[in-house]
């Protein structure tokens, strides 16, 4: 029996570290490493821009007082009804969670989820396209088929095919349980 920290464990740690270096451009020529650095910076900037666009886009929906019926008093109190009988709901995380948890009004749930899910659009359309293109180029420069292959290579699932199989297996299991 080997002790913890023996040659196998050290070899594993070393291989993971070397893989990390390779995934960051080690062993590539100077021009490729410079391009990789540019892409990493662009991807980081685009990711922040994307999230800022989402965070700064506060969507609201207007609903009737009747749409709020069935919600607990403390939840309804967060959405005051104006003199004209309508309430404006900011589609933020708190409102979405409260409505999805307590409302039995499918239309209200759908409206608030659509407003919440649309935050950042259309501003993020161009940002997303840049992000996809830069990620694809980064993956290709590092020898991966796609960005998904690059991203998953150091995760337990390892490949997009394995991820799909896992999702399919999980979905099938959930379908069986729901029947």
10 compared with 130, residue with greater pLDDT: 130
**CB atoms inside a 10 Å sphere around CB 26:** 11
Q: How do residues 125-168 score in pLDDT, each as one tens digit?
A: 999 999 999 999 999 999 999 999 999 998 999 999 999 999 99
Q: What is the pLDDT of residues 44-84, one digit of tens each?
A: 999 999 999 999 999 999 999 999 988 999 999 999 999 99
125-128 long-range CB contacts below 8 Å, 24 or more apart?
127/46, 127/49, 127/50, 127/53, 128/50
Residues sharing a CB contact under 8 Å with residue 137, sequence separation 6 or more, in sequence order = 35, 39
The share of the chain scoring above pLDDT 90, in percent, equals 79
Average pLDDT over residues 109-132: 97
List residues bridging with 87 in a β-sheet: 63
Assess contact for 154 and 19: CB atoms under 8 A.
Answer: yes
Q: Does residue 25 register a pLDDT over 90?
A: no
């Amino acid at each position: 029996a080997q002790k913890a920290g023996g040659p196998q464990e050290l070899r594993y740690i070393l291989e993971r570290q070397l893989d990390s270096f390779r995934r960051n451009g080690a062993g590539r020529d100077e021009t490729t490493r410079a391009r990789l650095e540019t892409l990493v910076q662009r991807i980081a900037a685009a990711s922040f821009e994307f999230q800022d666009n989402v965070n700064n886009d506060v969507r609201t929906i207007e609903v009737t007082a009747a749409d709020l019926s069935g919600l607990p008093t403390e939840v309804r109190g967060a959405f005051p009804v104006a003199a004209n009988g309508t309430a404006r709901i900011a589609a933020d995380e708190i409102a979405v969670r409260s409505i999805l948890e307590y409302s039995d009004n499918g239309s209200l749930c759908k409206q608030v989820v659509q407003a919440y899910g649309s935050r950042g659009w259309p501003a993020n359309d161009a940002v997303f396209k840049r992000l996809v293109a830069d990620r694809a180029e980064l993956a290709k420069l590092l020898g991966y088929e796609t960005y998904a292959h690059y991203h998953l290579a150091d995760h337990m699932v390892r490949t997009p095919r394995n991820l799909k199989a896992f999702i399919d297996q999980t979905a099938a299991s959930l379908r069986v349980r729901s029947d």
